[in-house]
Amino acid sequence: MVAVKIDGKAFAETVRGDLAKHVEQLQREHGITPGLAVILVGEDPASEVYVRNKGKQTRECGMASFEHKLEATSSEAELLDLIGSLNADPAVHGILVQLPLPAHIDSDKILNAIDPAKDVDGFHVSNVGLLGTGQKAMVPCTPLGCLMLLRHHHGKLDGLNAVVIGRSNIVGKPMAQLLLRDNCTVTIAHSRSRDLQNIVRSADIVIAAVGRPEIVTGAWIKAGATVIDVGINRVERDGRKKLVGDVNFESAAEVASAITPVPGGVGPMTIACLLANTLTACCRARGLPEPLGLTA
């Protein structure tokens, strides 16, 4: 292995430590506690793990965590009602509706019902438009976490070739916007791109967010590239369940100069950025300065 392993878990702990200090100051000077509401519909076991981790880390940072679990059979109207009451609740500064939602619920309608100022996932169409036009927005947590790791390990990104594999609203598209804002030359590729390998081989920065276990191998990576692996794939290897990314770590690490592992890379940064967005939303709601300057 020649690449540096980018330790997202450690970096996320540092970010959460900074957040906790700001939260404590907000409480001490203004008597305000930032609050995050998480809505989970149905019983997906993987989703429950995320919800539990988010709740625990929210409280550890000194913020208030409100968890709402609805039955998988809940109606769209029930969910809209709950969002309406959270929009109106001054103790709630951030609202996250865990995705995916059951098939009978229209996700776009739900996401667009969240007050954009409380939309800590940055999925509301108005935040998407603000980000795309370079205005102050709520920025989606996973791409923001990737950007923080890239800036930390790479410094300035100006003029670099960045290839984003994946075109989802959650990761690929907002990631491309953030990289453009940092002056990269950005290509969005995806599972149907012709000659995907050669596109990826042109990249100084590779963001793999395509949802295919270990599709990107060392043979696809330009020597010295930085590789950010967003994939979270549960697979069975040698009769054991295992978490792997969209990148084959061993082979890519022989060629890249830096690479994130799965787990312990992007995942923990996603949660740290969710908490950062909640603090930002709280400060904006109260007309206080934003302590982090990450989220605009």
Ligand X SMILES: Nc1nc(=O)c2c([nH]1)NC[C@@H]1CN(c3ccc(C(=O)N[C@@H](CCC(=O)O)C(=O)O)cc3)C=[N+]21
151 is in an annotated binding site: no
What is the rounded CA–CA span in Å between residue 195 and residue 102?
A: 35
268 binds ligand X (CB under 6 A): yes
Which position's Cβ is nearest ligand X? Answer: 267
What are the beta bridge partners of residue 94?
36
121 is catalytic: yes
Of the listed pieces 97-105, 150-158, 202-210, 276-284, which binds ligand X according to CB under 6 A? 97-105
Judged by CB, which is closer to ligand X: 26, or 209? 209
28 is in an annotated binding site: no
Binding to ligand X, residues 179-238 (CB under 6 A): 232
Residue closest to 210 by CA, chosen among 186, 228, 237: 228
9 is catalytic: no
Binding to ligand X, residues 33-52 (CB under 6 A): 49-50
168 is in an annotated binding site: yes
Tell me how far, at minimum, the Cβ of 235 lies from ligand X, in Å: 13
Catalytic residue among 57, 118, 119, 121, which?
Answer: 121
What are the beta bridge partners of residue 141?
none
Tell me how far, at minimum, the Cβ of 121 lies from ligand X, in Å: 5
Binder among 57, 65, 74, 98 for ligand X (CB under 6 A): 98
Tell me how far, at minimum, the Cβ of 267 lies from ligand X, in Å: 2
Of the listed pieces 70-78, 199-207, 265-273, 283-291, which binds ligand X according to CB under 6 A? 265-273
Tell me how far, at minimum, the Cβ of 199 lies from ligand X, in Å: 26
Tell me how far, at minimum, the Cβ of 229 lies from ligand X, in Å: 9
Q: Per-residue DSSP letters for the chain? A: --SEE--HHHHHHHHHHHHHHHHHHHHHHH----EEEEEEES--HHHHHHHHHHHHHHHHTT-EEEEEEE-TT--HHHHHHHHHHHHH-TT--EEEE-SSPPTTS-HHHHHTTS-GGG-TT--SHHHHHHHHTT-S-PPPHHHHHHHHHHHHHH---TT-EEEEE---TTTHHHHHHHHHHTT-EEEEE-TT-TTHHHHHHT-SEEEE-S--TT-B-GGGSPTT-EEEE---EEEEETTEEEEE-SB-HHHHHTT-SEE--SSSSHHHHHHHHHHHHHHHHHHHHTTPPPSS----
Tell me how far, at minimum, the Cβ of 294 lies from ligand X, in Å: 16
Binder among 20, 32, 64, 99 for ligand X (CB under 6 A): 99
Judged by CB, which is closer to ligand X: 130, or 271? 271
The separation between CA 152 and the C-alpha centre of its own chain, rounded to angstroms, equals 16
177 is catalytic: no
The single-letter code of the amino acid at 280 is T
What is the rounded CA–CA span in Å between residue 170 and residue 106?
A: 16
Binding to ligand X, residues 113-152 (CB under 6 A): 121, 141-142
Binder among 42, 55, 132, 263 for ligand X (CB under 6 A): 263
What is the rounded CA–CA span in Å between residue 68 and residue 112?
A: 19
The token duo for 88 is: 């109106």
11 binds ligand X (CB under 6 A): no
Binding-site residue set: 166-168, 232
Binding-site residue set for NADP(+): 166-168, 232
Positions annotated as catalytic residues are 54, 98, 121
Residues that bind ligand X (CB under 6 A): 49-50, 53, 96-99, 121, 141-142, 232, 243, 262-264, 267-268, 270-271
